[in-house]
């Protein structure tokens, strides 16, 4: 009950300076909300990438020429297939296409005709005949096209080529397929006018996942001009992209930290004359220093906990219900084709706990410490100054 | 003593915590549904099309396929030029450029 009375007094004290304290709550909430939005968004994308790319090729073999990615002779794939432990080798044919009509960049991808033609996330089917294609939902929206329409693209010889759309990837798969235009392998070779016997890169499937690194090393030894990229490297790339060291995280962290430091600095560098007088009066009527500190502790808790909870709720609603609509333009950059974020809510309770500690504790400390300095001074002196 | 303000604060805080718990429970349900239904379908897509990257940034080659980019991305369009694509400031350092544990030792 005593604690409740001190809390009552703390809230009354905050209420007397309500405009200032409401402003602090609003700013603090926005800072926490921005920080939490980025943390939960990047964490969710990182976990999503880790799950999705588990089925990426075990090894992708690129050929480097002058330090840059170059077309790879398909014959290299034959020698890789002879390595013990290699299950399957297949050349991949793909490339980029700038669509002058819309300003969008598409990824043109070839598939072989051996696998299944229908997929759960594909409306229609994968191309099984020359002159047909399947497109991502982003391309379909941008070009306002559907199954049965003709997609006209200009090939490497500057000749317009029409492809019949036989499939459109569902929007649920946009994070993987938004900008894709999928053709048969031969159509990609013809479209880009690739030289005979050359592919964009080679994918390698390995029997034993524990041997992936060994086989990648053997490929590099046998073909020094190549660069084998293992599945582990692919997934670790996304861990790095969405880690706290990435540019987005660092920028927002710095901005939020600076905003928070200014707020805490303002509190820590001193309390107002009115607050000092209030502490002096409390001491004069018989409050102990510990009572005054408890009062200030509760003042700090009321503001920081309210701001933290509000900020976290706003961040959750922003990221998982509104698809990070405020952050999307920052992440989007100059991309014309950008998937609608449909973020799977992977929450990390440890991350939320750390965020609570990093916001609530410093704020409470910056409220209590300057008050402690005043509370240990003689009340008469405090009231006179 | 009525203690109205402290009780009001406790009620508001409890309401905020309840909203948070409600959101977490809702997200957990969504997560379980998507992990059970959508994830296998997306992984089937990755397997069939042999995909290596997420289709998030389409503005440049090295942002569309960060895992397949050259060693010296993001400066590959001009080794002495400054990075000019906004996504280059969002994307982190490529894995291949990070120090390996052996090198760090």
| Percent of chain B whose pLDDT exceeds 90 | 39
* Interatomic CA distance for residues A330 and A338, integer angstroms: 12
8 Å CB contact between A105 and A96: yes
* Interatomic CA distance for residues A215 and A222, integer angstroms: 10
Instruction: State the pLDDT confidence band at B79, using cuts at 50, 70 and 90.
Output: very low
* Secondary structure of residue A2 in the 3-state scheme: helix
Report the residue of chain A nearest B26, measured CA to CA: A345
| Percent of chain A whose pLDDT exceeds 70 | 95
Has residue B65 been placed in a domain? yes
Write the residue in B41, B63, B87 that is nearest to A121 by C-beta.
B41
Question: Does A7 touch chain B if contact means CB atoms closer than 8 Å?
Answer: yes
pLDDT of residue A176: 92
- Assigned token pair, A352: 């939320």
Select from A159, A193, A227 the last residue of a domain. A193
CATH number of A167's domain: 2.40.40
Whether B88 sits inside 8 A of A247 (CB atoms) is: yes
pLDDT tens-digit series, residues A50-109: 999 999 999 999 998 887 888 999 999 999 999 998 999 999 999 999 988 888 899 999
Residues 354-373 of A with CB under 8 A from B: none
Chain B positions touching A60 (Cβ under 8 A) are: 52, 68
Has residue A290 been placed in a domain? yes
Same-domain pairing of A359 and A246: yes
Mutation to test the A interface, candidates B46, B60, B67, most A Cβ within 10 Å? B67
Residues 24-53 of B with CB under 8 A from A: 24, 27-28, 30-31, 34-35, 38-39, 41-53
Same-domain pairing of B18 and B44: yes
Has residue B97 been placed in a domain? no
Whether B52 sits inside 8 A of A8 (CB atoms) is: no
Has residue A301 been placed in a domain? yes
Same-domain pairing of B22 and B62: no
User: How many angstroms from the chain centroid is the CA of residue A190?
Assistant: 36
Same-domain pairing of A377 and A263: yes
Has residue A201 been placed in a domain? no
Has residue A283 been placed in a domain? yes
8 Å CB contact between B58 and A176: no
Question: Given a cut of 90, is residue A134 above it in pLDDT?
Answer: yes
Same-domain pairing of A263 and A185: no
pLDDT of residue B94: 58
Whether B87 sits inside 8 A of A331 (CB atoms) is: yes
Kindly report the CA angle at A234 between A232 and A235, in degrees rounded to 5?
A: 70
Same-domain pairing of B30 and B1: yes
Q: Tell me the HSE value of A120 on the side-chain side, using a 13 A CA sphere.
A: 13
Chain A positions touching B23 (Cβ under 8 A) are: 313, 316-317, 320
8 Å CB contact between A304 and A295: no
Has residue B81 been placed in a domain? yes
Has residue B104 been placed in a domain? no
Same-domain pairing of A324 and A263: yes
Report the residue of chain A nearest B20, measured CA to CA: A313
Alpha-carbon gap: B70 to the closest alpha carbon of chain A (Å): 6
Select from A193, A222, A251 the last residue of a domain. A193
Most confident of A66-80, A238-252, A355-369, B73-87: A66-80
Question: Given a cut of 80, is residue B78 above it in pLDDT?
Answer: no
Has residue B100 been placed in a domain? no
* Interatomic CA distance for residues A215 and A231, integer angstroms: 12
Same-domain pairing of B47 and B60: no
Mean pLDDT over each residue of chain B, to the nearest integer: 78
Instruction: State the pLDDT confidence band at A137, using cuts at 50, 70 and 90.
Output: very high
Write the residue in A5, A234, A236 that is nearest to B1 by C-beta.
A5
Same-domain pairing of B47 and B85: no
Kindly report the CA angle at A38 between A33 and A43, in degrees rounded to 5?
A: 125
Chain B positions touching A202 (Cβ under 8 A) are: none
**B57 lies in which domain range?**
53-92
Of A251 and A83, the structure prediction assigns the larger pLDDT to A83
pLDDT of residue A185: 92
What secondary structure letter does DSSP report for B58?
Answer: -
Closest Cα to residue B44, out of A279, A15, A121?
A: A121
Alpha-carbon gap: A105 to the closest alpha carbon of chain B (Å): 6
Report the residue of chain A nearest B29, measured CA to CA: A345
Residues 58-97 of B with CB under 8 A from A: 58-59, 61, 63-64, 66-68, 70-72, 76, 85-96
Same-domain pairing of B61 and B81: yes
Helices (H), A133-269: 137-143, 174-177, 185-192, 212-222, 231-241, 247-268
Whether B54 sits inside 8 A of A240 (CB atoms) is: no
Same-domain pairing of B2 and B30: yes
Same-domain pairing of A179 and A289: no
Whole-Å CA distances, A107 to A34, A138, A171, A188, B38:
32, 11, 17, 11, 23
Question: Does A177 touch chain B if contact means CB atoms closer than 8 Å?
Answer: yes
* Interatomic CA distance for residues A126 and A167, integer angstroms: 6
Whether A229 sits inside 8 A of B44 (CB atoms) is: no
Chain A positions touching B86 (Cβ under 8 A) are: 332-334
Same-domain pairing of B13 and B39: yes
Same-domain pairing of A186 and A252: no
Q: What is the total count of domains within chain A? A: 2
pTM: 0.84
Has residue A224 been placed in a domain? no
Q: What is the total count of domains within chain B? A: 2
* Interatomic CA distance for residues A194 and A188, integer angstroms: 8
Report the residue of chain B nearest A121, measured CA to CA: B41
Same-domain pairing of B57 and B71: yes
ipTM score of complex: 0.83
Has residue B105 been placed in a domain? no
Q: What is the DSSP string of A216-256?
A: HHHHHHH-TTEEEEEHHHHHHHHHHHTSTTSHHHHHHHHHH
Min mean pLDDT across A61-75, A135-149, A272-286 is at A272-286
Whether A173 sits inside 8 A of B63 (CB atoms) is: no
Of A40 and A369, the structure prediction assigns the larger pLDDT to A40
Whether A334 sits inside 8 A of B85 (CB atoms) is: yes
State the helix-helix crossing angle for A2-16 and A289-316, rounded to 10 degrees. 70
Same-domain pairing of B36 and B60: no
**A311 lies in which domain range?**
2-52+242-384
Chain A positions touching B38 (Cβ under 8 A) are: 172, 344
Whether B95 sits inside 8 A of A237 (CB atoms) is: yes
Chain B positions touching A305 (Cβ under 8 A) are: 13
Same-domain pairing of B40 and B61: no
Whether B55 sits inside 8 A of A178 (CB atoms) is: yes
pLDDT of residue B71: 62
Same-domain pairing of B43 and B60: no
């Amino acid at each position: 009950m005593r604690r409740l009375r001190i809390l009552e007094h703390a809230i009354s004290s905050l209420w007397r300076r309500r405009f200032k304290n409401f402003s602090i709550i609003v700013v603090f909430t926005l800072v926490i909300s921005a920080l939490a939005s980025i943390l939960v968004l990047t964490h969710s994308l990182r976990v999503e990438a880790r799950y999705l790319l588990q089925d990426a090729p075990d090894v992708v073999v690129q050929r480097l020429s002058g330090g840059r990615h170059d077309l790879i002779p398909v014959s290299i794939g034959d020698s890789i297939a002879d390595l013990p432990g290699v299950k399957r080798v297949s050349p991949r044919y793909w490339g980029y296409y700038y669509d002058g009509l819309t300003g969008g960049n598409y990824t043109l991808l070839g598939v072989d005709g051996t696998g299944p033609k229908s997929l759960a996330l594909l409306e229609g089917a994968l191309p099984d005949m020359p002159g047909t294609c399947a497109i991502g939902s982003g391309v379909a929206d941008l070009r306002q096209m559907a199954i049965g329409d003709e997609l006209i693209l200009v090939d490497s010889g500057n000749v317009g080529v029409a492809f019949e759309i036989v499939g459109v990837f569902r929007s649920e798969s946009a994070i993987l397929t938004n900008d894709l235009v999928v053709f048969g392998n031969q159509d990609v070779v013809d479209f880009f006018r690739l030289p005979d016997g050359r592919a964009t890169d080679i994918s390698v499937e390995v029997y034993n996942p524990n041997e992936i690194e060994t086989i990648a090393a053997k490929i590099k030894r046998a073909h020094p001009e190549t660069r084998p990229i293992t599945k582990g490297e692919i997934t670790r790339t996304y861990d790095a992209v969405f880690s706290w060291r990435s540019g987005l995280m660092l920028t927002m962290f710095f901005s939020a930290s600076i905003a928070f430091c200014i707020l805490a600095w303002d509190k820590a560098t001193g309390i107002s004359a009115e607050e000092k007088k209030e502490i002096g009066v409390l001491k004069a009527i018989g409050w102990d220093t510990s009572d005054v500190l408890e009062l200030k502790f509760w003042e700090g808790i009321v503001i920081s906990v309210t701001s933290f909870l509000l900020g976290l709720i706003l961040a959750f609603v922003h990221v998982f219900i509104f698809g990070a609509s405020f952050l999307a333009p920052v992440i989007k950059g100059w991309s014309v084709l950008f998937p609608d974020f449909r973020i799977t809510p992977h929450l990390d309770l440890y991350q939320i706990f750390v965020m609570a500690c990093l916001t609530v504790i410093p704020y409470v400390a910056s409220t209590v410490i300057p008050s402690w300095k005043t509370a240990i001074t003689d009340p008469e002196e405090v009231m006179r100054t | 003593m009525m203690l109205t303000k402290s009780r009001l604060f406790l009620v508001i805080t409890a309401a905020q915590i309840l909203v948070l718990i409600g959101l977490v429970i809702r997200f957990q349900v969504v997560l379980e549904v998507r992990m059970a239904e959508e994830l296998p379908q997306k992984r089937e897509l990755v397997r069939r099309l042999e995909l290596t990257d997420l289709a998030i940034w389409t503005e440049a080659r090295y942002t569309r396929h960060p895992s397949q980019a050259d060693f010296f991305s993001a400066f590959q369009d001009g080794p002495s030029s400054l990075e000019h694509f906004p996504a280059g400031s969002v994307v982190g350092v490529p894995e291949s450029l990070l120090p390996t544990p052996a090198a760090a030792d």
